[in-house]
């Protein structure tokens, strides 16, 4: 049996600490002890393990989320799998708006605020409760997608999107972000080949190149949080690399 497939001992995770980098908060200082407590807001870091998958269109995020979740369940850590936008009933309504090509007139700022509203409810109803219960949470997209798509793709600017995102999530960040990196022309061909293009998939190649460039910049600025993988590689190769990194996190934080 490959060492990376050894069964982790299914015991509760100890609390983790926020990364010391600003990560997706370019203009917001973050202390070593995490975001400061505010009235009515929980302080400190939740107890679970939070994993986010990021990448452009057609990168294979949903496939890798599914494979990781299957592996975690088989090794005694059944995860909470979720996604953005739309990971809550309210979020499903937001998803219908932001991805529908009928809403081409939606302003970039309105779009960013809709994603932030979806994420605020997602963090409140799904992410934080699961993490505080000690669960492993795996999400298909999170804050870095808004930085890349709205901040850079829509050219709103990363600082404003980061500030909105921090407020919406109470500063909740992943312990690991897996970036599936792919040239946008390849990813768009994949995405458009499987279904009719949605509102974001219909954007220009230049838009999607800005998205990719920003994901790569974010990863370079926070190497401790990111696992960057070449998404032109085979599905099983990628899954093995993800399992190796996640397995190491489970061993360290159990």
Tokens of 51: 């994993």
Known binder of ligand: residue 62?
yes
Q: Is 203 among the annotated ligand-binding positions?
A: no
- Is 57 annotated in a binding site? The answer is yes
> Residue 191 annotated as binding?
no
91 is in an annotated binding site: no
**58 annotated to a ligand binding site:** yes
Cite the annotated binding site by residue number.
55-62
- Residue ranges of the binding site for ATP: 55-62
């Amino acid at each position: 049996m490959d060492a990376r497939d050894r069964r982790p001992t299914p015991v509760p995770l100890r609390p983790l600490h926020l990364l010391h980098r600003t990560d997706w908060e370019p203009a917001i200082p973050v202390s070593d002890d995490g975001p400061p407590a505010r009235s009515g807001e929980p302080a400190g870091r939740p107890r679970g393990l939070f994993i986010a998958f990021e990448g452009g269109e057609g990168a294979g995020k949903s496939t890798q989320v599914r494979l990781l979740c299957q592996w975690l369940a088989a090794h005694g850590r059944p995860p909470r799998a979720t996604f953005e936008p739309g990971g809550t009933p309210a979020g499903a309504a937001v998803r219908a708006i932001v991805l529908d090509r009928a809403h081409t007139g939606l302003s970039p700022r309105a779009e960013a605020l809709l994603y932030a509203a979806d994420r605020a409810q997602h963090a409140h109803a799904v992410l934080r409760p699961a993490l505080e219960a000690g669960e492993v949470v795996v999400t298909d997209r999170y804050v870095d997608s808004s930085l890349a798509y709205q901040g850079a793709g829509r050219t709103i600017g990363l600082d404003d999107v980061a500030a909105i995102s921090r407020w919406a999530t109470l500063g909740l960040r992943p312990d690991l972000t897996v970036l599936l990196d792919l040239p946008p022309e390849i990813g768009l061909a994949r995405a458009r080949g499987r279904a009719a293009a949605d509102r974001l998939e219909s954007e220009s190649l230049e838009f999607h190149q800005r998205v990719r460039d920003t994901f790569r910049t974010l990863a370079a600025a926070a190497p401790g949080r990111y696992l960057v993988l070449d998404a032109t590689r085979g599905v099983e190769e990628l899954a093995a690399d993800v399992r190796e990194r996640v397995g190491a996190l489970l061993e360290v934080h159990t």
